[in-house]
Chains A and B, each alone.
Chain A
């Protein structure tokens, strides 16, 4: 036999091994249990009943990178998490493949912002890109099939298996370098040939004065009620010149307080005033240095929003601060919840708080430079130096021991759960000190999901910002849009037609149901029951079908508009809703029975993760978590908005504040939401779905095509954005997870001057050590499941 013949036989043998191994590998792609943000929800949906990724042999989600073959990078790659993604990738055993899922992971997507890597391919090689924001589950399957085809067609693994030189397996693509092998055009792909703004051809900036030239009526002015007026007088009497009630306001009593007396005023309001303002709803700052009328404003304003449970009213305290890096006093001794809020203000604005127990960065990595929400800070990632593999290697997070201090030389086991862990429900890092399995200390490191959405809010026009709202809480979809549009509508005095209001309520409640179903599924999964997941997602698909029928989208419909909703309800919506309303109660009962009376579930949740009502109020806990402590507090009832006062429903509460109570509240909320949906569908008013005052809104298309005034409004409001009158408004709504508030500040321009989002998760998660210390690791998982938070609204 000649050498050639021998080699030919060897080749044929290797070829057949290639075919066999490729066949095996393509049907045995075990994905890592890995997700970064919204996209992961659709990835997980692809595993559930309707889509069933298991058919391709790919349902074996592995929590350990060692056993996974496939990394589906689903969601936004943040600069803070990128080193972790890289590490997980490197921990995977060869051969390994990477699918980049969704626009963020592909190229940064909507988030061209300081905290986001503009595409995962800058740090890892990628096999398949799935486009979409987020891609549908079908697209995930398509991506998987494309990867299977790629493996079968392109790879030659046999030589590596027999330790021969040559052959290929796994990902072979080179890394991309932002600016060199990859476009840095912030306008996205498809703009080839058109120069980037700032080049010699196009002037660097739009002159803002175009908006200045437009006239707009002043901001809405509300009449304060007697209680608010009396409170203003009391404050004036007691603190004299130090307080100055604002002459007018678009939403609530606003009091300017001098920094020296701030703590006294706050203490008075919390403990002595009538009514008492017991909750620190929100604390944030505004950098006033870029105001159009610069001399009327200080350098910074601190803004405290307080809430009174007794009078169901809110109050705004504004504190002017001067200087480049001003200092003020911490209020953590008044409200423990101020801890994280003050750290956030420090992190993003560089304002220091004296007396704060632990003033360090909270959202951004510890080695970050600058304070992004300052007006002087450029916000776009494409304006910064590209993020590369070296950066990902260099910028490692701190060791767990830095967070949990070892006391007295006592040896404890410090366990990092997260930032990427199966049960942290997103990118959140728990640093747990353990004594056996008992938790003796718990610290959290957040900011792994910081998408810089507040900075983005300062550059997108008022309408352009709506798509970002849904992504602040990616499971609550349209329910997120509501506080934003309501806040802007309050500021600009936009009246919303009744039909649009009811549609908004119906959509919000559908999303509450959909969110609670995901919560139910993951909670059950957290305590180890795998099947309820699939049942809950089956019903969730029904809801998303309705949402898709009405809005055309699934997770992020972006369907509410200033002044109404994007379009009228389509034909057939009522039948779909009615069908769902008929089916759902029995389905809910069916699979709830799997859980509610199950002795193991009860043993795992009853009496676990308790929090007292006083604590919950002090820490700013909201939503079902607060109601599970026995307080009847629901904004939909107490401070109704968008016509909730016209609906019959009950606010479920439970006693005990433990994991089981939180379970009971949410399940009952699903039933109540269904009641609201039923009523909304039955009594849907007729009429317009968009206000007929077109100054600030996007006019109806038919009007726009027939009427020159509407066309002009449409053109102006779409291109440079409506000029919203100078002023500020804070609006909070009861979204599925709690109270989400938008504080919008306008300087009379086409985009917000400051866009502050108060996420319910921020406060709800800050309280976690109160719930978990003293319990075991397994309990911590149950507690995390029962609190139901979501990362983009904690880190924003």
Chain B
């Protein structure tokens, strides 16, 4: 009985900590992006709300929470209202299987630093990321606006296409680790991180991940020069904020996945596991922001061509080669 309730308590604590951390980190990722982009662009970025603009995310959040929640006439109300939640919730759920540190001992109990070590962890992640598409496609469709619709369609097509290369690029990793569990994958990298043996898979994964997270050069669903605000054109206040939040949580998830699958997860010298894990996520996020500050945007058909004609064949070749090497 005691062990059961203690286990439950620990689980709750872990859940709370992860959730709090993710939301705060998402808010400050926005801050980081605005500051870092500003620096790339010879500017200062926000610096009036709090020292170094550190209270900027709080101000934005309070503003969005107290802003009117508009629902356009002719919108499909239920779907319109639910869509932003789908995006955020699926992004948050993915963290359930991501390990952020080695095991911890507490009162003689071994506490794994992961909320749930599923043996099909990777598949769980893919399943959720597929569900995330619904938020965008349905949100765009339910708005009853042409720009939203075009954005939603673009989003759906793009995310479905890139899911394939995303998945295929990871098959060699699974082959090397011999498991779908993310914890096992990290353990398998104790000798060397997989980026060294699987550079091609790494590149394909990062490109596909950026397409999945809809960031420049793949930000077509919300390409403001073309579609206004794309799929979230009609959203205001905190519902728009949820899309925003989902995007930045997604960025962390992808950073975490890159860290777990290719950079050895939480392992690293001197610092503790979670610290290394955060640093790795941060580096990936910074690179993504840097890319956003540098590159133009692809066109719809070019995006599709890149996914179907370049990345997927490459990923398949990589699988074959990896398989052959393992056999030999």
Cβ–Cβ contact B224 & A63, under 8 A: yes
Q: List 8 A-B residue pairs with CB atoms under 8 Å apart, sorted by A's residue number.
A: A20-B62, A27-B48, A54-B46, A57-B49, A57-B53, A63-B228, A526-B225, A529-B294
Judging by beta carbons under 8 Å apart, are B296 and A21 in contact? no
Contact among A24, A533, A778 for B62, CB-based, below 8 A: A24
Contact with B along A396-419 (1 / 0, CB 8 A): 000000000000000001010000
Q: How far is the CB of B328 from chain A (nearest CB, A)?
A: 36
- Measured CB to CB, the closest approach of chain A to B228, in angstroms, equals 4
B297 at the interface (CB under 8 A from A): yes
Q: Which of A437, A600, A779, A781 meets B298, CB within 8 Å?
A: A600
In the bound complex, do residue B298 and residue A93 qualify as a contact, i.e. CB atoms below 8 Å apart?
Answer: no
- Let me know if A52 is at the binding interface, CB within 8 A: yes
* B292 nearest CB across to chain A (Å): 7
Interface flags for A587-616 (1: CB within 8 Å of B; 0: not) read 000000011001011011000000000000
Residues of B within 8 A of A (CB): 34, 37-38, 40-49, 53, 55-56, 58-64, 66-70, 146-147, 150, 216-217, 219-220, 223-229, 232-237, 240, 292-302
Judged by a CB distance under 8 angstroms, whether A527 is at the interface is yes
In the bound complex, how far is the Cα of B193 from the Cα of A702, in angstroms? 80
Interface residues on A, range: 35 or more
A777 to B154, CA, bound (A): 12
Please judge, given known A-B contacts A49-B43, A52-B44, A95-B67, whether A27 and B296 are in contact too, CB under 8 Å. no
Determine if A87 is an interface residue (Cβ-Cβ < 8 Å): no
Which residues of A have CB within 8 Å of B237?
93
Encode A513-552 as 1/0 by CB contact (under 8 A) with B: 0000000000011111111011100100000000000000
| Chain B nearest Cβ from A482, distance in angstroms | 33
Contact A64 B233 (CB under 8 A): yes
Return the chain A residue nearest B60 by Cβ. A28
In the docked arrangement, what's the CA distance between A535 and B43, Å? 10
Q: A93 to chain B: which residues have CB within 8 Å?
A: 67-70, 236-237
User: When the two chains form their complex, are residues A528 and B225 in contact, meaning their CB atoms are under 8 A apart?
Assistant: yes
Query: Chain A: residues with CB nearer than 8 A to chain B?
Result: 20-21, 23-25, 27-28, 33, 48-49, 52, 54-57, 59, 62-64, 66-67, 69, 91, 93-95, 157, 161, 413, 415, 421-423, 437, 524-531, 533-535, 538, 594-595, 598, 600-601, 603-604, 776-779, 781
Point out the residue from B44, B70, B233 that lies within 8 Å of A55, measured CB to CB: B44
Residues of B within 8 A of A94 (CB): 67-68
Question: Which residues from B are CB-within-8-Å of A604?
Answer: 296-299, 302
Query: Known interface pairs A528-B223, A778-B223. Does A413 touch B66 (Cβ–Cβ under 8 Å)?
Result: no
* B42–A69 touching, CB < 8 Å: no
In the assembled complex, how far is the CB of residue B287 from the closest CB belonging to chain A, in whole angstroms? 15
Q: Which residues of A contact B37 (CB under 8 A)?
A: 530-531
How distant is the Cα of A309 from the Cα of B64 in the complex, in angstroms? Answer: 59
Evaluate contact between A776 and B48: CB separation under 8 angstroms.
no
Closest residue on chain A to residue B301 by CB atoms: A776
| B82 vs chain A, min Cβ distance (A) | 18
What 4 A-B pairs have minimum CB-CB distances, sorted nearest first?
A528-B297, A24-B62, A534-B41, A93-B236
Verify B295–A600 contact, CB threshold 8 A. yes
| Docked pose: A141 CA to B42 CA in angstroms | 18
A527 and B296 contact, CB distance less than 8 A: yes
Residue of A nearest to B218 (CB): A528
- A57-B59, A415-B147, A778-B223 provided; 15 other pairs, C-beta below 8 A? A24-B60, A27-B55, A28-B59, A52-B43, A57-B49, A63-B229, A64-B229, A67-B229, A93-B67, A93-B68, A422-B225, A524-B296, A528-B217, A528-B295, A530-B216
A526–B44 alpha-carbon span in the complex (Å): 24
Q: Are A529 and B295 in contact (CB under 8 A)?
A: yes
In this complex, what residue of B is CB-closest to A434? Answer: B150
By a CB distance below 8 angstroms, the chain B residues around A157 are 66
Q: Is the CB of B302 within 8 A of A603?
A: yes
User: Which residues of A sit under 8 angstroms from B240, Cβ to Cβ?
Assistant: 66-67
Q: How far is the CB of A728 from chain B (nearest CB, A)?
A: 43
Task: Tell whether, in the assembled complex, residue B67 and residue A525 are in contact, meaning their CB atoms are under 8 Å apart.
Answer: no
CB distance from A26 to the nearest CB of B (A): 8
CA distance A199 to B219 in the complex (A): 62
Closest to B45 in A: A54
A526–B224 CA distance with the chains assembled, in angstroms? 9
Q: Which residues of A contact B301 (CB under 8 A)?
A: 437, 776
In the assembled complex, the Cα of A600 lies from the Cα of B59 at a distance in Å of 36
Instruction: Say yes or no: A778-B224 contact (C-beta < 8 A), given A24-B58, A49-B43, A67-B236.
Output: no
Chain A residues lying within 8 Å of B228, measured Cβ to Cβ, are: 63-64, 421-422
CB distance from A52 to the nearest CB of B (A): 4
Please name the residue on chain A nearest to B69 by beta carbon.
Answer: A93
**What's the Cα separation between A81 and B219 when bound, in Å?**
30
CB distance from B210 to the nearest CB of A (A): 13
Contacts of A535 in B (CB 8 A): 41-42
What are the residues of chain A within 8 A of B225 when measuring CB–CB?
Answer: 422-423, 525-528, 781
Q: Are A57 and B298 interface neighbours, CB within 8 A?
A: no
Question: In the complex, A59→B55 CA distance in Å?
Answer: 16
Residue on B with the closest CB to A170? B68
Which of A28, A49, A157 lies at the interface centre, i.e. has the most chain B CB atoms within 10 A of its CB? A28
A1 shortest CB reach to chain B, Å: 29
Q: Is the Cβ of A55 less than 8 Å from the Cβ of B45?
A: yes
Q: Are the C-beta atoms of B292 and A530 separated by less than 8 Å? A: yes
Could you tell me if A422 and B224 are in contact, using CB atoms closer than 8 angstroms? yes
* Closest beta carbon of chain B to A290's beta carbon, Å: 47
Neighbouring B residues of A594 by C-beta, 8 Å: 294
Give complex CA distance A415, B150 in Å: 10
B217 and A25 form a contact (CB under 8 A): no
Instruction: Note all chain A residues with C-beta closer than 8 A to B298.
Output: 528, 600, 603-604
Look across to chain B and name the residue whose beta carbon is closest to the beta carbon of A160: B66
Given known A94-B68, A437-B150, A600-B217, contact A57–B299 (CB-CB < 8 A): no
Of A55, A530, A533, which contacts B48 at CB under 8 A? A55
**Among A28, A52, A528, contact of B216 (Cβ-Cβ < 8 Å):** A528
Residue on B with the closest CB to A161?
A: B66
Contacts of B294 in A (CB 8 A): 529, 531, 594
Q: Does B46 lie within 8 Å of A57, measured CB to CB?
A: yes
Contact A66 B299 (CB under 8 A): no
A24 near B63: Cβ-Cβ < 8 Å? yes
| Nearest opposing residue in chain A for B225, CB measure | A423
Cβ contact within 8 Å between A779 and B67: no
Q: Check A601/B70 contact, CB under 8 A, given A57-B48, A57-B56, A535-B42.
A: no
- Rounded to whole Å, the gap between the CB of A89 and the closest CB of chain B is 13
Chain B residues with Cβ below 8 Å from A526 are: 225
Query: Using Cβ atoms and an 8 Å threshold, which residues of chain A touch B234?
Result: 64, 66
Interfacial chain B residues near A56, Cβ < 8 Å: 46, 48
Task: Tell me the smallest distance from the CB of A535 to a CB of chain B, in Å.
Answer: 7
Q: Kindly list chain A residues whose C-beta atoms are within 8 Å of the C-beta of B59.
A: 23-25, 27-28, 57
B41 near A69 with CB under 8 A, answer no
Within the assembled complex, what's the spacing in Å between the Cα atoms of A349 and B216?
Answer: 49
Contacts of A423 in B (CB 8 A): 225-226
Please, which residues of chain B bring their CB within 8 A of the CB of A422?
224-225, 228
What is the chain B residue whose CB lies nearest that of A437?
B300
Beyond A49-B43, A93-B69, is A778–B300 a contact (Cβ under 8 Å)? Answer: yes
CB contacts (< 8 Å) of A48 on chain B: these are 43
Min CB distance B51 to A, Å, is 13
Q: Which residues of B contact A533 (CB under 8 A)?
A: 41
Residue with the highest number of chain A CB atoms closer than 10 Å, among B53, B226, B228: B226
Residues of B within 8 A of A421 (CB): 228
In the assembled complex, the Cα of A217 lies from the Cα of B70 at a distance in Å of 68
Q: Smallest CB–CB gap between A647 and chain B, Å?
A: 33
User: With the chains together, A722 CA to B149 CA distance in Å?
Assistant: 60
B226 touching A413 by the CB < 8 A rule?
no
Query: Measured between C-beta atoms, what is the minimum distance from B298 to chain A in Å?
Result: 6
Q: A23-B59, A93-B67, A93-B236 are in contact. Are A598 and B296 (CB under 8 A)?
A: yes
Bound together, the chains give a CA A69 to CA B302 distance in angstroms of 35
Do A601 and B48 have beta carbons less than 8 Å apart? no
Instruction: Please give me the residue from chain A that is nearest to B229 by CB atom.
Output: A64
- The docked-state distance in angstroms from the alpha carbon of A598 to that of B229 is 25
Residues on the B chain within 8 Å of A63, using CB? 224, 228-229, 233
